[in-house]
Structure 1
Amino acid sequence: MEHAPLDLPDDPRLAGNIAHFAAALRRAGLPVGPDRLLMAVEAVTVAGFTDRADFFHALQAVFVRRPEHRATFAQLFRLYWRDPRYLEHMMGLLTPTVRGVQEERRARPAEKRAAEALLDAAEGPDPEVAGEPAEEVKIDASATASGRERLRNLDFEQMSTAEMAAAKRMLTTLRLPVRPLASRRRQAAAAGRIDRQATLRAALRKGDLHDLRRATPRIRWPNLVALCDISGSMTSYSRALLHFLHAVANRQGQGWAEVHGFTFGTRLTNITRHLRTRDVDAALAAAGAEAQDWEGGTRIGDALHAFNRDWSRRVLGQGAVVLLVTDGLDRGDPERLAFEARRLHLTARRVIWLNPLLRFDGFAPKAAGIRALLPHVDSLRAGHSIAALEGLATALSQPDDRGELTRLRG
């Protein structure tokens, strides 16, 4: 990353500029408090600020504590300290007119958060940074019926920081129903089919056949396994799904035997233990720190191979339902992807594919990765909004639900 010579104000104004920058970072979702602001001013003073690269890395070392915040920090640094014209360019990308899936570049989530945060910062200094305590104002986009309906159907990738916060609150209330499975094993019951073996054993003990024993199948609950693509094009959607998955994993009496979560971009990462942490922010922060391939490339075939080899026997043995969250835009060999998808399909009870590209009316399975996956899933749904995730309830409660599969398979 090349940096031009830095032209900063004199020292008395430097602290103020860093304070405004810190406020913008906080609006963009980074956990920046007064202690970090003081550390940043001290770090810049020690490191010097005649060179842009030193200035960038000094601030990054203080303000960025999670890998997933690096992209947002870099975009906001560019907006605030380098190129004022970039803000106008970014705002033009926030609400593009979609003519096709790949015809127009859309603002990346990190770019959107940076642009929105800087627009907010332009309204004036943050009251807390200026030293004047102020009551925190929370925007609740779901306060009204119309607001809730709009939020339900809004694309996760197009949400502002406030809208995403409101959406996450709504996601925690969603239910993901599960159908119990009848086991081959049976248990004694007052009603049900006659258990011949138990009846004969009782007859041998008592000497008569008057006491007929009955039994019903034991009920067992399946596992829920989510495989979430965290490549650049899927970041917003997978973050929302993981937030939803955390709520399901921590809801008492939710029915699922176990909830397992995996992320993949260029490698597979098991984040199940983090989903069991009660605090959602701590859980997802730990998951984000462990998965080092956020917003990178996509190797779906390699990820499925690693899952089939290392994890399928451990987590798919109870008639598990698999949620595959990906747009199917794979950089690997489509034949390898098809082979591994078939293996996954054979070992899981059901594979439900959530593909955000289905939000486009003219979507067609043209990409090789999408065509490789289609024959090996049971249901295909969009998963790009709260309303789309609510549709999972239909897919799970109706075993014959196919979503968009029938249309796309032709």
Structure 2
Amino acid sequence: MSCCGTPPSPEELDEVGKLITQKLSGFIRTLRDAAFTVGLREGEDAARLIASGYARSPDLLRQALKHLLSSRKEEWDRFDGIFGAYWQGKRARSKIVTAGTSSGSANSLVKPAIERSDMSAEGAVPDQASGSLDEDGTHERTGEGRAEGASRADVLASTDFRKLNDPAEIAEAHDVAARLAQAMRTRLTRRDLARRRGYRLDLRRTIHRNISHGGVPISLVKRQRKHKPLRLVILLDVSGSMSMYTGTFLRFIHGVLDEFREAEAFLFHTQLAHVSDAMKERDPARALDRLSLMAQGAGGGTRIGESLATFNRWHASRVIHSRTCVMIVSDGYETGDAQLLGREMTQLARRCKRIVWLNPMLGWDGYSPDAAGIKAALPHVDLFAPANTLKSLADLEPYLARL
């Protein structure tokens, strides 16, 4: 090392740089172990912050990294404790692993699906995170595994699909989306059956039938009404601006069509494609292979108005009845005529019971629906909701249950 007043040599600067890089890499791993969503790009940006001089002050570095590496409120709340424990040697709180756990109908659907996918992937292999190794190599069981698993389920349920970089996480999200669709269908079916079991007494017909008994209501007549099951019609935007979300939605739609008897699916970009037959393949991989052949030209621009015009003209009379919910999944970036989109939405609204528009960008901070296409469509939409996480998909169930 150089003496005071002597500038450091290039070798010394290189050694200091390596130490800082190792320290930062360890901090990134610590955040990941604490269920933070931190990828390679965030790590590179953190290194640039340190190189820019933010490391001269611990508080300045903490604030800079906190803004960069915290993507959700629960991460923001826990960041200071993790930073202090790693960089300053302060004692961290023991609630790091379990923070962020929440309750609700959405999590009650998403968490079991994630846990089932973990079990199917790992089989009977013990989870190393749920215990520790003694000095003799034996596995000591602790109670942290279940808490960490619950926290991981919360993280995956609330992570934006565009931030899933690890192929294993992407595959897991796809599997959970398919299982989520199946769970939603099961619950909706049970509620529908319970609703139909209820009946009302038809007094006029009961009295008429029991005249021979002196008017004593021995034989009761119940009112019967013709039942129409809920039908879902899904139109998925597969244009370039939606490419980060298409894979997960395709798995979700595959799960819907696999369970719903009353469901139809369409893809659109510059044109419309009816894909229900392909999505009803039992094998998801084979279904996606068929879709790739049917959706030629996907990934380009979006002509929502023209696609809806094709749907209204050639498909709507066949697939829509009085209890149909049309679900459009799109960011609303219309490259065609926005006025045409407004006219076709008006015609669609007259045919179906409800129109649900799912926009992944609605879950982004600072987003507002200012595009001409989405402005033309919104007056005809009954529910405008985000669809950028598994939790936002699960939140649809209570709305569908009321239809």
Q: TM-score, normalised by structure 2?
A: 0.57
SS at match of 1:220: coil
What CA distance in whole angstroms lies between the structure 2 residues aligned with 1:341 and 1:180? Answer: 28
Give yes or no for contact 1:180–1:219 (8 Å, CA) kept in 2: no
Q: Which residue of 2 aligns with 1:171?
A: 177
Residue 371 of structure 1 deviates from its aligned partner by: 0.5
1:375 aligns with 2:383: no
1:389 aligns with 2:386: no
What CA distance in whole angstroms lies between the structure 2 residues aligned with 1:334 and 1:389? Answer: 27
Residue 149 of structure 1 deviates from its aligned partner by: 1.9
Q: Which residue of 2 aligns with 1:43?
A: none
What CA distance in whole angstroms lies between the structure 1 residues aligned with 2:43 and 2:236? Answer: 25
1:344 aligns with 2:352: no
Q: TM-score, normalised by structure 1?
A: 0.56
What CA distance in whole angstroms lies between the structure 2 residues aligned with 1:391 and 1:224? Answer: 16
1:235 aligns with 2:240: no
Choose the corresponding residue for 2:257, options 249, 253, 276. Answer: 249
Summarize deviations over 1:380-410 as a string: whole Å, max 9, x none: 11101111111112332356xxxxxxxxxxx
What CA distance in whole angstroms lies between the structure 1 residues aligned with 2:231 and 2:204? Answer: 32
What CA distance in whole angstroms lies between the structure 2 residues aligned with 1:268 and 1:190? Answer: 41
What CA distance in whole angstroms lies between the structure 1 residues aligned with 2:303 and 2:204? Answer: 54
What CA distance in whole angstroms lies between the structure 2 residues aligned with 1:95 and 1:213? Answer: 73
Alignment of 1:294-333 (within 5 A): 294-333=298-337
Summarize deviations over 1:212-268 as a string: whole Å, max 9, x none: 5322334331111100000001123232122112112223xxxx4411110000110
Give yes or no for contact 2:257–2:276 (8 Å, CA) kept in 1: no
Asked which structure has the greater CA Rg, the reply is 2
Summarize deviations over 1:161-218 as a string: whole Å, max 9, x none: 22110111222321325464999xxx9x996321746875x579x7976545322334
Q: Kindly provide the amino acid, as one letter, of the partner of residue 170 in structure 1.
A: V
Summarize deviations over 1:67-93 as a string: whole Å, max 9, x none: xxxxxxxxxxxxxxxxxxxxxxxx759
Q: Which residue of 2 aligns with 1:270?
A: 274
Deviates more, 1:154-163 or 1:329-338: 154-163
Residue 293 of structure 1 deviates from its aligned partner by: 2.4
Divergent runs of 4+, >3 A = 91-97, 140-143, 177-183, 195-200, 206-212
Alignment of 1:120-131 (within 5 A): none
Residue 275 of structure 1 deviates from its aligned partner by: 1.7
Alignment of 1:140-289 (within 5 A): 144-160=149-165, 161-174=167-180, 175-176=183-184, 177-178=187-188, 180=192, 192-194=200-202, 196=204, 200=208, 211-251=219-259, 256-289=260-293
Q: CA RMSD in A?
A: 3.6
Q: Kindly provide the amino acid, as one letter, of the partner of residue 146 in structure 1.
A: S
What CA distance in whole angstroms lies between the structure 2 residues aligned with 1:288 and 1:250? Answer: 19
What CA distance in whole angstroms lies between the structure 2 residues aligned with 1:159 and 1:190? Answer: 45
Summarize deviations over 1:294-353 as a string: whole Å, max 9, x none: 211100000111111111111111411111100000011111100101111221111111
What CA distance in whole angstroms lies between the structure 2 residues aligned with 1:303 and 1:190? Answer: 41
Give yes or no for contact 1:221–1:318 (8 Å, CA) kept in 2: no
Residue 354 of structure 1 deviates from its aligned partner by: 0.5
Give yes or no for contact 2:322–2:351 (8 Å, CA) kept in 1: no
Give yes or no for contact 2:201–2:220 (8 Å, CA) kept in 1: no
What CA distance in whole angstroms lies between the structure 1 residues aligned with 2:312 and 2:266? Answer: 12
Aligned residues: 261
* Shift in CA distance, 95/290, structure 1 to aligned 2, threshold 3 Å: farther
What CA distance in whole angstroms lies between the structure 1 residues aligned with 2:268 and 2:198? Answer: 49
Q: Kindly provide the amino acid, as one letter, of the partner of residue 174 in structure 2.
A: K
Residue 363 of structure 1 deviates from its aligned partner by: 1.3
Q: Kindly provide the amino acid, as one letter, of the partner of residue 267 in structure 2.
A: T
Q: Kindly provide the amino acid, as one letter, of the partner of residue 167 in structure 1.
A: A
Residue 148 of structure 1 deviates from its aligned partner by: 2.1
Give yes or no for contact 2:228–2:323 (8 Å, CA) kept in 1: no
What CA distance in whole angstroms lies between the structure 1 residues aligned with 2:220 and 2:336? Answer: 61
Structure showing the higher helix proportion among its residues: 2
| Runs of at least 5 residues in structure 2 that lack an aligned partner in the other structure | 1-39, 47-120, 130-145
Give yes or no for contact 1:195–1:215 (8 Å, CA) kept in 2: no
| Runs of at least 5 residues in structure 1 that lack an aligned partner in the other structure | 1-90, 98-135, 400-410
